[in-house]
Amino acid sequence: MNEIHEELRLHNGSALRLNWLRDKLVLKSTSLPEERIHFVVRGFLLFVLGCTLFCDKTGSSVSVSYLKYLGDMEDIASVGWGAATLAHLYRQLGIASRAKCRQISGFLTLLEVSSFTPPCLVDPFA
C-alpha cells in the first residue's frame, strides 16, 4: 500500500505512471482470490484507458479519477465510455486549438474514423 501512496505522491495524487501500473499487473500465481483478480482486472482496465481512450500528452500516466468508474465490476459496462471518450477528445481538441499549443492528445483514431465516414452511412434521425 505504501508503494501506491508513493506513486500517487509523485503526481500530486492525481495520476499513476503507466509503466508502474503495468509492472504491478504481472500475476505471480494462477490461484488468486477473486478479490485480487478483480483488483488486477481494474488495474488492467485503468492501464488500457490510459493508453488508448484517455491518453494525455505525456503518454506515460493515467488519471486515477477513472478508478471510481471501475469500482463495481458489474457496472463497468453501463458507463458511457463512448460519450466520455468524445468529451475527452473535444477537450483535447480545444486545448490543441490554442495559439501556443503544438501537440494534441486523445483517442485520435476515433477522430479519423468519424472524418472518413460517408454522410450517406449516417442516419440523421437515429
The per-residue b/e assignment along 34-73, b for 16 or more CB within 10 angstroms, e otherwise, is eeeeeeeebbebbbebbeebbbeeeeebbebebeebbeee
What pLDDT, on a 0 to 100 scale, did the predictor assign at position 84? 87
Close Cβ partners of 15 (under 8 Å, ≥ 6 residues apart): 8, 61, 62, 63, 64
Query: What domain range is 98 assigned to?
Result: 2-121
Do the domain assignments include residue 126? no
Do the domain assignments include residue 59? yes
Do the domain assignments include residue 36? yes
For 19-55, how does the pLDDT look when each residue is reduced to its tens digit (9 = 90+)? 888 887 776 666 778 888 888 888 888 888 888 888 8
Residue 122 above 70 pLDDT?
A: no
The arithmetic mean of pLDDT across residues 101-119, rounded, is 72
Residue 14 above 70 pLDDT?
A: yes
The domain total for the chain is 1
CA distance 89 to 53: 9
HSE, side-chain direction, 13 A CA sphere, residue 40: 14
Q: Report yes or no on whether pTM surpasses 0.85.
A: no
What pLDDT, on a 0 to 100 scale, did the predictor assign at position 35? 81
The arithmetic mean of pLDDT across residues 6-30, rounded, is 79
For 76-105, how does the pLDDT look when each residue is reduced to its tens digit (9 = 90+)? 889 888 888 888 888 888 888 888 888 777
Question: In the structure grid, which three cell numbers stand for residue 113, read together?
Answer: 474514423
- The residue that leads in pLDDT, 37 or 118, is 37
Do the domain assignments include residue 32? yes
